[in-house]
């Protein structure tokens, strides 16, 4: 999961070195935090949030592998 989000983010941004992905678990929830450079935030979110929603959709597909755990993508 983490690698997939990192791959997508580094492919989209101008400054791939600034991409940081962190995974946290809080009870039955997995939180994936994506940090990018401030000037690249618009590229990650996309027009009307389409890129961010597409990444969230991919995480929902991989959620089935996590045995009932909810996966949240947080773009910081």
Q: Which residue has the higher pLDDT, 24 or 67?
A: 24
User: Using CA of residue 43, residue 5, residue 19, residue 69, what is the dihedral sign?
Assistant: positive
Residue 6, pLDDT > 90, answer yes
Domain at 2-75, CATH from 3.30.300.20, 2.60.120.590, 3.40.50.1970, 3.40.1710.10: 3.30.300.20
Tens-digit pLDDT profile for residues 11-51: 999 999 999 999 999 888 999 999 999 999 999 999 999 99
Q: What is the pLDDT of residue 67?
A: 73
CB atoms within 10 A of CB 4: 15
Sequence ranges of the domains in the chain: 2-75
Residue 5, pLDDT > 90, answer yes
Residue 52, pLDDT > 90, answer yes
Query: How far is it, in rounded angstroms, from Cα 60 to Cα 11?
Result: 21
Query: How far is it, in rounded angstroms, from Cα 33 to Cα 3?
Result: 12
pTM for the whole structure: 0.88
């Amino acid at each position: 999961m983490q690698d997939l989000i990192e791959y997508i983010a580094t492919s989209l941004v101008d400054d791939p070195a600034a991409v940081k992905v962190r995974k946290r678990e809080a009870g039955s929830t997995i939180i994936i935090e994506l940090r990018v450079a401030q000037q690249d935030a618009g590229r990650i979110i996309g027009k009307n949030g389409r890129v961010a929603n597409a990444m969230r959709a991919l995480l929902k597909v991989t959620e089935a592998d996590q045995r009932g755990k909810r996966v949240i993508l947080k773009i910081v």
